[in-house]
Structure 1
Amino acid sequence: MPIQTVKGPIEPDELGICACHEHLYVDLSHIKNDQDCCLQDEKLVAEDLEQFKALGGRTVIEVTNDGMGRNPEILKHLSTTLDLHIVASTGCYKDPFIPEEKKQWTRDQFAEWMTDEICHGIAGTAIKPGVIGEIGSSFNEFKPIESELFHGAIEAARQTGLPLSTHTTLGTCAADQINLFITEGLPLHQVIIGHQDLNRDNGVVLDVLKSGAYVALDTIGKENYRSDQDRLNALLLFLKEGYEDQLLLSSDLTRKSHLRSFGGQGYDVVLRSFVPALKKWGVSESVIEKLLMENPKKAFSIKERR
């Protein structure tokens, strides 16, 4: 099945090296009261993406959704200008970032809205999302509106076959998310559990992997949360346990200060520093190709509807 990009569907083999969880045009400043969280300078983002592309990057999964400053037209322009595949998203993030007009919505309203965007285009455009995400739970809990959002996202995923990519606040609630998907009967090969490199309980992450879901180690370079050496150690464990077919990598840039031009890690941090570290620790080229290409190709392909 194809992968839906902002310029239309592509075959999975066209995906290439893929960053599984990024933000190219995002604004969280209205909630965080910090202008650094407004990353909406298209020119600077394009310059940073050029470095990702120079190291072989071919595709970005862009998980900025409604309430986070989403702009599909900007994404399409970046895709055209840079000759990069960009996958846009539908859905909402988590409390308190859910737009005011949706804060009292039911799961059915969320499902109907997401399904409409998937079938007809985002916010009145003809640009269709290729992923439902990032759908989030709060720190160690599901707020009531987040529960409605998750159920709506599950129904939209069931109806359309789109992959569902989640946010776990500091890695928490991963097991709870998996249990919800199992209870609701959503196939776990359609699910990407996010931010598990922020989950320091490797046992929980291994349980998530055992369930069959994809696991995103997607905050690489954010060493204020956790050192990349710790992330590397965890990844090496997951690989040793045999889960090389379910792991995805990215860096989740959300701030101006994350750009290379402001001294940050940049969109190329995985390719520039993390992958060479993997090679130094003996991870084979074939496994690295799975992490960067083969696994995203499977994870973000549209699934057969059930």
Structure 2
Amino acid sequence: MYIQTVLGPIQPEKLGVCACHEHLYVDLSRIKKNEDTCLQDTGLVLDDLKSFYAYGGRAIIEVTNDGMGRNPRKLAEISKASNIHIVASTGCYKDPFIPDDKLRWNRDQFAEWMIREIRSGIADTGIKPGVIGEIGSSLNEFKPIETELFHGAVAAAKETGLPLSTHTTLGTCALEQIELFSAEEMPLDQVIIGHQDLNEQDEVVLEVLKAGVYVAMDTIGKENYRSDNARLESLLKFIEHGYEDQLLLSTDLTRKSHLRAFGGQGYDVVLRSFVPALRGRGITDEVINKLLVGNPQRAFSIRKAGDMSA
């Protein structure tokens, strides 16, 4: 098993402390009509990453995909300049962010395209994605194009062994995503269900965990959605129920205003404030190491080499 970064494959044990769901070069302004959602200043991002690195951060799963301003060459530049492992993504996000040229695609077309990127590299860059994501469902529903996208992503994941990372809008539809994966006989330990710290129904998240997927508590620091203290209480409950081997942490930074320079949480918020809060509640370094290092190593390892070897 190995992890595919933008600079090439690495052994999982080389990954280090990992943020499981981030954006380093992203543009959502086409849909959101807000320039704050165009985060494409690599200088600003690199400045912010210095603190992430200083707190021990060594790896980032970058889930910006086609339609979100994805640029693998920029990710390679950032990786080299920051000395941080970066994993790029293949796939599309959700309605209405799916690019116009793919709006009428069916599952087979999505699958064929993702498999081609995984095996040959993104566009003409030669840079291979290491994760399928973030593949999204809408608020409390799957739009028809999202259903096709999910099925295509499952086919690509089963064919190539890449992990599949999802978006759940405000935490909704996680169980419905699992139902779709189960119906397609997708190995659930190959799946990362996103944004479950936005799901305030702990009992539902416990059902998600019980299914065997990885669960991302990945919007830490976004207190306009939910307080980090509430996220902390939920995480403590999940650990108490024995799911410490399935939990991942991140902040999902997508805006210029999220950077520390503009008063935001920064890429370091998990390591700077959330992890110390966990320690303050009695969570051991052994468990914290699982959340930050051990679990990402397993979650983002590619299960089989197949035709993906360079």
Q: TM-score, normalised by structure 2?
A: 0.98
AA aligned to 2:157 is A
Residue 217 of structure 1 deviates from its aligned partner by 0.1
Structure 1 residue 305: Cα displacement: 7.7
- The 2-side partners of 1:133 and 1:68 are apart by 11
Paired position in structure 2 for 1:292: 292
For 1:154-173, list aligned pairs within 5 A: 154-173=154-173
Counterpart-to-counterpart distance in 2, 1:153 and 1:69:
19
Aligned residue for 1:261?
261
Question: Structure 2 matches for 1:228-239, cutoff 5 A?
Answer: 228-239=228-239
For 1:168 and 1:123, the matched residues in 2 are separated by 27
Q: Is the 8 A contact 1:91 1:133 kept in 2?
A: yes
Please list the CA deviations of residues 139-169 of structure 1 after superposition, one character each: whole Å capped at 9, or x if unmatched.
0000000000000000000000000000000
Q: Which residue of 1 aligns with 2:142?
A: 142
Instruction: Tell me the TM-score normalized by structure 1.
Output: 0.99
Unaligned runs of 5+ in 2: none
Q: Which residue in 1 is equivalent to 2:96?
A: 96
Structure 2 residue 199 is matched with structure 1 residue 218: no
Q: 1:192–1:216: 8 Å Cα contact kept in structure 2?
A: yes
What are the residue-to-residue correspondences of 1:1-306 with 2, within 5 Å? Answer: 1-304=1-304
Kindly state the Cα deviation for residue 123 of structure 1 after the two structures are TM-superposed: 1.5
In 1, distance between residues paired with 2:179 and 2:138?
16
Contact in 2 for aligned 1:158/1:305 (Cα 8 Å): no
Runs of at least 4 residues of structure 1 off by over 3 A? none
Does structure 2 retain, via aligned residues, the 8 Å contact 1:163–1:301? yes
* Structure 2 CA distance for aligned equivalents of residues 182 and 124 of structure 1: 34
Q: CA deviation at 1:303?
A: 1.1
Deviation at 1:14, TM superposition (A): 0.2
Q: Is contact 1:163–1:192 with CA below 8 Å preserved after alignment? A: yes
Distance 1:28 1:108 in 2: 26
State whether residues 134 and 165 of structure 1, in contact with CA within 8 Å, keep that contact through their aligned partners in structure 2.
Answer: yes
Gaps of 5+ in 1: none
CA distance in 1, matches of 2:269, 2:178: 29
Q: In the alignment, is the contact (CA less than 8 A) between 1:159 and 1:305 conserved in 2? A: no
Query: Residue type of the partner of 1:213?
Result: V
CA deviation after TM superposition for structure 1 residue 283, in Å: 0.2
Displacement of 1:304 after TM fit?
3.3
Amino acid at match of 1:176: E
Distance of 1:237 and 1:111 partners within structure 2: 37
- Superposed CA offset, 1:27-52 (max 9, x none): 00110011000000000000001110
Question: How many residues are paired up?
Answer: 306
Q: Distance in 2 between matches of 1:101 and 1:79?
A: 30
Q: What SS does the aligned partner of 2:197 have?
A: coil
Q: Percent identity?
A: 71
CA distance in structure 2 between the partners assigned to 1:84 and 1:203 by the alignment:
36
Distance 2:150 2:50 in 1: 35
Please give the alpha-carbon distance, in whole angstroms, between the structure 1 residues aligned to 2:23 and 2:209: 25
Separation in 1, partners of 2:227, 2:81: 34
Q: Distance in 2 between matches of 1:304 and 1:151?
A: 20
CA distance in 2 between partners of 1:80 and 1:149 (Å): 32
Report the CA distance between 1:293 and its aligned residue.
Answer: 0.2
Deviation at 1:124, TM superposition (A): 1.6
Local SS of the residue matching 1:49: helix
Aligned partners of 2:175 and 2:205: how far apart in 1? Answer: 8
Report the Cα distance in structure 1 between the residues aligned to 2:223 and 2:305, rounded to whole angstroms.
Answer: 39
Alpha-carbon separation, structure 2, partners of 1:132 and 1:123: 15
Q: What is the identity, as a one-letter code, of the residue corresponding to 2:180?
A: L
Query: Partner letter of residue 261 of structure 1?
Result: A
Contact 1:221 1:265 (8 Å CA) reproduced? yes
Q: Distance in 1 between matches of 2:231 and 2:12?
A: 28
